[in-house]
Amino acid sequence: MALRFILSTVLMLSLPAFSLTINNDFKVAKHVEYSYLIGDLSFSDVERNTHHWQQAKPGNISLGTSETPVWLKVPIENNTNRMQTLYLVVDFPRLDEVSLYHREDNRLKVETIGDSYPLSVREIKDSDLLFKVNIAANKSQFIYIKAASSGLLKLPVTIWNPSKYVQHKNKATIIDGLILGALITLIAILLALFALTKKRQFLTASIYSFLLWLMLATTLGYVYRYISDDVRWLSQMLIPMLLLSLSIIMTPLSTRFQKRNKSSTIITRILLVVCSLILLLLPLFSFANALIIAFSIGIANIFWHALVTSYSIYHRKRHCKLLLLAQLSIFCSFAFNLLALMGVQVPALKTGHSFIITFIISAFSFSYILIEQYVLLRDSKVSRQQKQLAEANMQQEVQNEAIKIHEQYQEELENKIQERTFELEVTLRELQEKNHELEEMNTQDALTSLRNRRYFDKKITMEFRRSRREQTPLALVMLDIDHFKRINDTYGHLSGDDVIKHVAMTIKHALKRPSDVACRYGGEEFALILPNTDDDGALSVAEHIRSEIEKTTINSASIDIKITISAGIFSSIADQSSDPNYYTDLADKALYHAKNSGRNKVCSANKLITEEES
């Protein structure tokens, strides 16, 4: 007992005067004072207190991008009569590895977490680096923390009463949700405006706002919380890539409103190309170097745009004051974090909080500028359209008056034209009738009223083509009055004309179909064109005509005259190798055969050809 009392007394005396005291009404210590030691040391060396510890500013130290681990020593004194359970929070979630060493019941307890470890290994599933510590009643002890990171090494330490931390965390989560939700709403509005207006600046602004949202979600730990363990490298490299992407997307948003000359345009393009090339090369660098490069290049690009915007403000360019506010807010955030990366002690403001404030200002400033510009342009366009509409209405009225006058003259002109047109139509109709009569006269035989040789030549050609096209038989009948010269010599030409007219009348009565055509071929010779008629049909028609003429007596000049006719026929389906003259030649040959074989006969060329072949 005496030994234990002595050891406790020595430990109490060894605690510095600034140790954290826990009372019954303890809620939170947001500015915990601690000492720190830089070096890759073992816990046993650190606990023996053989090294020189440095005093840190309350609650926070920033060591830049140092890859050397740092040890923190936090003294805590429990002045209550019961064991106290506390939450020790390292309020910077982007540390690769944080280990907590403390003793409970004389046993060393070690817990290691960090964003290089999956969330599942943490005792308390929180995106912050959170440790649960039990301090025995009326005891004092040191809590040691070892931290290492490939990026910014920043160590803001707070100690909480668990119930108060849960309340604080719930409140912070709601605030973060509202802020991220506001950005999501802004993105949705910008996308809706792009869909409605098809203006690319709204799409660019929505991409810019989305990058801001993703950057906030990353720095607040939400990307780490929900990203897969297989892509931890991406969760780290996402931050420098997003930083440069924000700087690149800001370029088209800014240049839209700035007053520029040729030199400023060239410099802007050079910076844009440099940022794009470095963005592609970032995965080749370590996380710490990638952060420094991204912040440095981003600051240079944003600073240049801020200078051009200030020049534009001097020349009274619209919207540039608000544009400068959006640029300077991002510039301050980048500069704040770059100073921290270089080890400069900056005010104890969380990285996430600095991003939230500046990103919200930037996103809503750009969106407001674009929306206001669109509204102004639309109003200007509507005003121009209304002015143009008024001018168009005046022109329309003048044009209507001119149209009325023109219509009056047009109506008078149309009436005159109609009168002349009617007269021309009457004349044309009469002319057509005369032409038809002439055409009839040209194709009609004056003596017999049958069609003449001219009509026959056209008709036989037409029917020949139809037979070849439709593959139907075409028949041609050639008729001739027997001994007609003797009739002329005996009874005179007038009686010969009566004989020809009688034969023509008999032929006309013998044809029953509208498609059958009878023509006076020449002198006392006649031709019949019989479409779609085979050899037997043509023989029947020709034989009927021959018999009717044979039994009829012609009375001319009180003289009775008896006559006979001879006929030759040919019927066939037209083919490619023949022509209409082929029909005429064969029908003529059959006619000559009928005359040579005694007259008053009908001979078929098809039968003659068959007899010759046999």
Catalytic residue IDs:
524
Q: Which amino acid is at 612?
A: E
- What number of other Cβ atoms are within 10 A of residue 186's Cβ? 21
Burial label for 576, CB within 10 Å (0-12, 13-18, 19+), is exposed
Percent of the chain as helix, strand, coil, to the nearest 5: 60, 20, 25
Q: Which amino acid is at 497?
A: D
CA–CA distances in Å: residue 545 to residues 189, 273, 508, 528, 614 = 99, 106, 10, 11, 30
Query: Among candidates 92, 84, 26, which has minimal Cα distance to 59?
Result: 92
Query: Among candidates 147, 23, 24, which has minimal Cα distance to 74?
Result: 147
In the numeric block, which tokens belong to residue 399? Answer: 């044009």
Q: Residue 42 and residue 50: Cα distance in Å, rounded?
A: 12
CA–CA distances in Å: residue 33 to residues 66, 96, 169 = 21, 23, 22
Query: Among candidates 359, 293, 348, which has minimal Cα distance to 154?
Result: 348
Q: What is the DSSP string of 277-319?
A: HHHHHGGGS-HHHHHHHHHHHHHHHHHHHHHHHHHHHHTT-TT
Check: CB of residue 62 under 8 Å from CB of residue 154.
yes
**What residues have CB less than 8 Å from 42, skipping those under 6 apart?**
none
Q: What is the DSSP string of 429-478?
A: HHHHHHHHHHHHHHHB-TTTSSB-HHHHHHHHHHHHHHHHHHT-EEEEEE
Phi-psi group of 372: left, alpha or beta (phi > 0 → left; psi -120 to 50 → alpha; rest → beta): alpha
Q: List own/partner pairs for 190-193 with CB under 8 A and 24 or more apart.
A: 190/367, 190/370, 193/371, 193/374
Q: Which amino acid is at 368?
A: Y
- Tokens 């002595």 correspond to 6
Q: Residue 514 and residue 208: Cα distance in Å, rounded?
A: 88
Check: CB of residue 37 under 8 Å from CB of residue 73.
yes
Q: Residue 337 and residue 404: Cα distance in Å, rounded?
A: 77
Q: Residue 300 and residue 294: Cα distance in Å, rounded?
A: 10
Query: Among candidates 35, 19, 14, 13, which has minimal Cα distance to 145?
Result: 35
- What number of other Cβ atoms are within 10 A of residue 143's Cβ? 23
Tell how far CA 595 is from the center of its chain.
Answer: 88
Q: Which residues pair with 81 in a beta bridge?
A: none
